[in-house]
Structure 1
Amino acid sequence: MTSPMTPEEVDALARKRAGAKMGWYTHALVFTLINLYWFLASDLGFGYKTWSPKLLLGWGLGLALHFIAVFVLGGGSSLRERMVQKERERLQREQNRMP
Structure 2
Amino acid sequence: MEIKENDNRKLRRAKKRLQELKGFYWHLASYIGVNTFISINKIIRDLSDGESFVASFWDFGTFAVWLFWGIGLFFHSIKVFSINPVFSKEWEERQIKKYIEKDKREAEKFK
Structure 2: how far apart are the matches of 1:63 and 1:74?
A: 16
2:47 pairs, out of 17, 27, 43, with 43
Aligned to 1:68: 74
Q: CA deviation at 1:87?
A: 3.2
> Does the aligned pair in 1 maintain the 2:24–2:76 contact within 8 Å?
yes
Count of residues in correspondence between the two structures:
91
**Which has a greater percent of helix?**
2
Which residue identity lines up with residue 42 of structure 2 in the other structure? W
Offset of 1:66 from its aligned partner? 4.0
| Conserved 8 A contact 2:35-2:65 | yes
The unaligned stretches of length 5 or more in structure 2 are 1-6
Q: Structure 1 vs Structure 2: percent identity of aligned residues?
A: 9
**Which runs of 5 or more residues in structure 1 are unaligned?**
none
1:15-94 alignment runs, 5 A limit: 15-45=19-49, 51=56, 53-71=59-77, 73-76=78-81, 79-80=83-84, 83-94=87-98
Structure 2 length normalisation: TM-score? 0.59
Tell me the TM-score normalised to structure 1 length. Answer: 0.64
What's the Cα RMSD here?
A: 3.2
Distance 1:60 1:8 in 2: 34
